[in-house]
Each structure stands twice: as structure tokens, then as C-alpha cells.
């Protein structure tokens, strides 16, 4: 087995064999309002395909994914749609098809326009959509 941990909080072990998975047949599917997460686990990494519909994210109440700040990190490839992200420190940016992004914990995000956002995320997916449900509050 190979071990990998380049400064990540989460380490993983890679099996010393070739592995093939396809998100058309995910290992796990988690649903949440206005979206879903399709997970495929390969070499100790949880790859997540996260389609989010318009009306399913962020600051504008009608476009929110969650009624709380998003605390998990995201390292992702943007397949389709436009996603606007605002960090707790006020920094903001918009991501679209072909973009790669690294979004640390402490952000809010929403779908811009009418096209669903689809991202492939390689960090933060093991616990994503397992967290606090909409309407629940952490103490």
C-alpha cells in the first residue's frame, strides 16, 4: 500500500492495484434539497459528483443550498453551470465550466442563472450531506 498525505488533514491509503469506478453507478447517493451527491470511492479518495439545481444554493434565500454557512473544504472541477461563492472574509468569485477551484471552509455559495451546477469534488465529500440537515442548528 502507498500512503499519501501532502499536508492534508485527511490521509488515505492507496491500494497497489488498478481500480475503475464510474459515477453512473456510484457507491453511494445522498440527497438534499435542490441537489444530490453521487460518491465513488477510489484509492481511499471519495470523488463526489454534485449536481445542484437553480434555487439550490447560497445567500439569496431562493437559491440556497443550506440555511447555514458551508464548513467543509472543496477542491473541485466545474463541469457545468455557474456557481458564485462568498468567503466569510468577504472574498468572492464565480466559477463555471472548465474551472478548477479550491474553496476552504467558511463560505456561502449559490447557483447563478437557470442552468444546474455540476461539480466533481475530491475533498470534503466523505461527510458532505451527512452534516446538519436544513432547519437544524448546531449548538
- Residues linked to residue 76 through DSSP beta bridges, in sequence order: 101, 121
Spatial separation of the C-alpha atoms in residues 12 and 55, rounded to whole Å: 35
Spatial separation of the C-alpha atoms in residues 96 and 78, rounded to whole Å: 6
pTM over 0.75: no
State the pLDDT at residue 70.
56
Rg (CA), the chain: 15
Give the H or E element holding residue 112: strand 107-112
Q: Does domain 2-121 have CATH number 2.60.120.10?
A: yes
The dihedral over CA atoms of 10, 13, 99, 117, expressed in degrees to the nearest 10, equals -80
Would you kindly state where each structural domain of the chain is located, as residue ranges? 2-121
Collapsing DSSP to helix, strand or coil, 35 comes out as strand
Cα–Cα distances (Å) from 25 to 43, 49, 79, in that order, read: 17, 11, 18
* Weakly modelled stretches of the chain, pLDDT under 50: 1-5, 10-11, 57-58, 60-68, 132-139
Amino acid at each position: 500500500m502507498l500512503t499519501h498525505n501532502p499536508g492534508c488533514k485527511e490521509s488515505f491509503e492507496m491500494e497497489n492495484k488498478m481500480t475503475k469506478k464510474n459515477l453512473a453507478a456510484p457507491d453511494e447517493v445522498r440527497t438534499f434539497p435542490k441537489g444530490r451527491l453521487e460518491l465513488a470511492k477510489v484509492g481511499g479518495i471519495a470523488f463526489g459528483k454534485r449536481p445542484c439545481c437553480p434555487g439550490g444554493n447560497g445567500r439569496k434565500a431562493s437559491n440556497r443550498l443550506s440555511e447555514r454557512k458551508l464548513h467543509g473544504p472543496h477542491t473541485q472541477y466545474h463541469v457545468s453551470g455557474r456557481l458564485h461563492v462568498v468567503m466569510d472574509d468577504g472574498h468572492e468569485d464565480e466559477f463555471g465550466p472548465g474551472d478548477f477551484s479550491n474553496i476552504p471552509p467558511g463560505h456561502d455559495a449559490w447557483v447563478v442563472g437557470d442552468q444546474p451546477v455540476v461539480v466533481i469534488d475530491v475533498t470534503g465529500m466523505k461527510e458532505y450531506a451527512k452534516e446538519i440537515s436544513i432547519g437544524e442548528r448546531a449548538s
